[in-house]
Amino acid sequence: MRGRRDMISKLRFFSVSIFGILAIISAFQLTKLNFSFDFEQFFPEGDEDLELFRAFIREFEADDNFLLVAVRRDSGVFDRHFLEQFHELTLQCRTLPHVVESQSLTKVSYPVRTPFAITSIPAIHIDEPGRYAQDRARILADERFVYNLISDDATALCIVLKTVNSIQLPQARELMGALDELIGRYDFEEYHYLGRAYFQRELVDMQKREIAFSAIVSGILVTIALFFIFRKAWGIVVALVSIGLGMLLFMGFLGLSGRDLNAMAALYPVLMIIVGTSDVIHIMSKYVDELRKGHSTEKAIVTTIREIGLATLLTSLTTAIGFASLLSSRMAPIRDFGINAAIGVLIAYLTVIFFTTSVLSWFSAGQITRPGRGQARWEQSMMWLYRFTGRYPARIALAGLGILLLSGWGISRITTNYSIITNMPIGKKITQDFQFFEQELTGFRPLEFAVFAQNGYKANSFEAIREIDKVEAYLHHFPALQAIGSITAVYKSINQMMHHNAPGAYVLPDDEAEFGRYRRLAGQVPGLGLNVLLSKDEKKARITSRVKDIGADSIKQMGQRIDDWILANTDTSIVTFRRTGTGLIIDKNSEYVRRNLIQGLGMAILIVSFLMALLFRNGRMLIISLIPNLFPLLLAGALLGFLGIDLEAGISIVFAVIFGIAVDDTIHFLSKYKLVRSRGHQVEESLRITFLETGKAIVLTTVLLFFGFLVMLFSIHPPSVIIGLLISLTLASALLGDLLLLPVLIRWFYPEQQPDSPHSPAEAA
């Protein structure tokens, strides 16, 4: 006996030492955590439109390599001091790191043809205030400038900074830091930013704040909950150290593996704390119960690992499988979240099963928890629930059927018309800036049209240009489309120049010979930007625009109308058109999110069913275990429909989280029931014992899950708020399913009241 104790003591010391070493290594790896935000991460891999887009930007340039700086003056921008400062800012912006070019109205000129050469006159005569009224009228009548470089009420001007292609986070931080310092030198009333570099800096900073906030608040919540559960210092300390160690090892793993933390990384601390807490409570509760039965420390640990360890292993595997179902997504951030979360769940399990059980063996039941009247109240509550399920099975079944029908109605109302603003941080300047540009200037979403010349035509031929102009004219019918531009602007500008810059002359020439003369002049006119509008081989061109944030489905419908019109009204033997652009590619995720969701969850349910079959080896028990866990999924979908929440990539992970976690309590309940039945007890007695011995742990873990995810309501990231709300509500429904529906299903599938022998038909079914 003494030799066995010495062996256990050595194993305990070895386990704790190993985890101590791993904790030190993980702490050093935290410095290597890498945060990132890149729109390309959300591109659906394998999509044909994505391949076209990538070829398109290789031929021209990226459509999101811009940073917009808007400056507002409530009384109007046509003020000499304001314009002088704004012009100086425009020139200084050219010196910022990673900026290729800066453009604004104070740098724009109209081309003028003289007998000697083509020259230009400024759009705004900054040094001649007497001409401001004339300049204002001309500019506000020019489609090239309104919403693009100036607001329609002339209270805001915009600087367009062209940045290096695919600017990365370190470059973005350097650029934005220099821009903040530069604009701080001026006394502008109001300024706003919009663009890739700005998004990268602000959204990565948001990710860091969210991770720290969720870890701290969840930690406080769990500490309070553990206090009410154990009411002993050592019990609370052991639980907190176990949970914290699991999260530290997981974050260390992320740092060591070099995995990027993206917009959904704020969920990691909550998941690790909640999953770890659930495992800890089940293990510690069972250990204390065994000690109170009079068993020795060694036997209590062995029994806990044998009975709860196996059930916890299965719950961890099913939770991990739920997360792994996200691997079916076409988007890298979703796949990364799925695999990272799955690994985190397994790390939490290994930490609890090896570290926590080792440490627990040093403590007695009285050191871990304080017995009191609370235990009697728990038993009374569980007995009331047990009797309730026996008295009203029909009512419970009818309520379940009602929820099922109601969920079907709610699911039918789900839409995917999500918008960028729904992913912007609440109450932050970046969100205010985004809204300012949406309301006063052009939006952020780029929408491009790739133009392909056909049958030997060139994209800048007279015939092709006329077809492009048709499309441009049609695009102007859509208020959501702004900043529309193409190579036609070159020839319209020349035509306007040839007609003394009359506003009405900004049109294409009707005569092909005249157009030919304009083509020869095009290279002499400064600032036309032919290189970004026409490919080098002159076989391809582009129409650029930006579209308001009206929602993915609305944009898709608008795009389909445009495609249909182009097909019916342009000559495809001369040119063909195809929509492309960053916004279009990201929006295509809405087409895949439902499909991937169904595929992923379907695979997860099949794998979990296989595990359940291995555990219970009983077809009826397999059905019993799956039915209650489909209700939370259906309810989550119904909530999306009833609350008017658009289903998008970030929100779609809710279903994997719900299925992965909800099935845990089912496994604990049915595992205990199966164990009690194997001892020869009848169905009713087995259910009663299961309620008494497992019900408390199931309720406590669900309450922790509920409030743990509810913490996300305080997030400034809207998708995180929605995810927290949906998971909390649906996991609460999963608890009701386990405690109300499971007993009813067991009684229906196993109506016999005689105890089963090891070889009885009930066990062999």
- Which are the contacts of 350, defined by CB distance < 8 A and separation ≥ 6? none
pLDDT for 93: 95
**pLDDT, tens digit, 9 for 90 and up, residues 437-496:** 999 998 888 888 999 999 999 998 999 999 999 999 999 999 899 888 888 888 888 888
Mean pLDDT on 21-33: 87
Q: Whole-prediction pTM value?
A: 0.79
Residue 356 burial (CB count, 10 A) = 26
- Which are the contacts of 224, defined by CB distance < 8 A and separation ≥ 6? none
Does residue 555 contact residue 443 with C-beta atoms inside 8 Å? no
Identify the helix (H) or strand (E) that includes residue 729: helix 718-736
Question: Can you give the length of the chain in residues?
Answer: 765
Query: Tokens 């419970």 sit at which residue?
Result: 396
The phi and psi torsions of 156 (rounded to 5 degrees) equal -145, 140
656/153: higher pLDDT:
153
**Structure tokens, 521:** 């002049």
Does residue 585 contact residue 592 with C-beta atoms inside 8 Å? no
Buried-exposed string 375-395: b where 16+ CB fall within 10 A, e elsewhere: eeeeeeebeebbeebeeebee
Q: Radius of gyration over alpha carbons of the chain, in Å?
A: 33
The pLDDT confidence band at residue 434, using thresholds 50, 70 and 90, is very high
The CATH fold assigned to 1-49+208-370 is Multidrug efflux transporter AcrB transmembrane fold (1.20.1640)
HSE-CB for 212 with a 13 A CA cutoff: 7
549/207: higher pLDDT:
549
Is the pLDDT assigned to residue 759 strictly greater than 50? no
**Structure tokens, 637:** 């979908």
**CATH for the stretch 64-201:** 3.30.70
Query: Measuring CA to CA, which residue among 622, 627, 451, 626 is closest to residue 544?
Result: 451
d(CA 190, CA 111): 32
For the chain, give every domain's residue range. Answer: 1-49+208-370, 64-201, 378-412+588-765, 434-587
Query: Measuring CA to CA, which residue among 452, 463, 461 is closest to residue 540?
Result: 452
**pLDDT, tens digit, 9 for 90 and up, residues 517-532:** 888 877 665 544 555 7
d(CA 99, CA 161): 6
d(CA 5, CA 13): 12
**Structure tokens, 484:** 């529309």
- Which are the contacts of 237, defined by CB distance < 8 A and separation ≥ 6? none
Amino acid at 400: G
60/5: higher pLDDT:
60
Identify the helix (H) or strand (E) that includes residue 412: none
Is the pLDDT assigned to residue 85 strictly greater than 90? yes
pLDDT cut 90: percent of the chain above it: 25
User: Which span out of 3-7, 176-180, 226-230, 504-508 was modeled with the highest average pLDDT?
Assistant: 176-180
Helix 649-678 to helix 742-749 angle (10° resolution) is 50
**Structure tokens, 65:** 């390599």
d(CA 730, CA 133): 61
Most distant CA pair in the chain, distance: 111
Helices in 150-266 by DSSP H: which ranges?
A: 169-183, 196-230, 233-257
Q: How far is CA 613 from CA 458, 564, 622, 630, 705, in A?
A: 65, 52, 6, 17, 27
- In 3-state terms the chain splits into helix, strand, coil percentages (rounded to 5) of 65, 10, 25
**pLDDT, tens digit, 9 for 90 and up, residues 679-720:** 888 888 989 988 988 888 788 888 878 887 888 888 888 888
**Structure tokens, 319:** 């939770």
The pLDDT confidence band at residue 77, using thresholds 50, 70 and 90, is very high
Q: How far is CA 699 from CA 259, 300, 416, 471, 664, in A?
A: 35, 23, 34, 62, 12
The pLDDT confidence band at residue 616, using thresholds 50, 70 and 90, is confident
d(CA 30, CA 449): 44
**pLDDT, tens digit, 9 for 90 and up, residues 113-144:** 766 667 778 889 999 999 999 999 989 988 88
Q: What is the DSSP string of 197-220?
A: HHHHHHHHHHHHHHHHHHHHHHHH
Residue 743 burial (CB count, 10 A) = 26
Topology alike, domains 64-201 and 378-412+588-765: no
pLDDT cut 70: percent of the chain above it: 91
Query: Tokens 């210092």 sit at which residue?
Result: 233
Give me the residues paired with residue 190 across strands.
Answer: 72
**pLDDT, tens digit, 9 for 90 and up, residues 345-361:** 999 999 988 888 888 88
**pLDDT, tens digit, 9 for 90 and up, residues 391-433:** 999 999 999 899 889 988 988 888 878 788 888 888 889 999 9
Angle at Cα 679 formed by Cα 674 and Cα 680, nearest 5°? 100
Pick the CATH number of 378-412+588-765 from 1.20.1640.10, 2.60.40.10, 1.10.3720.10, 3.40.50.2300: 1.20.1640.10
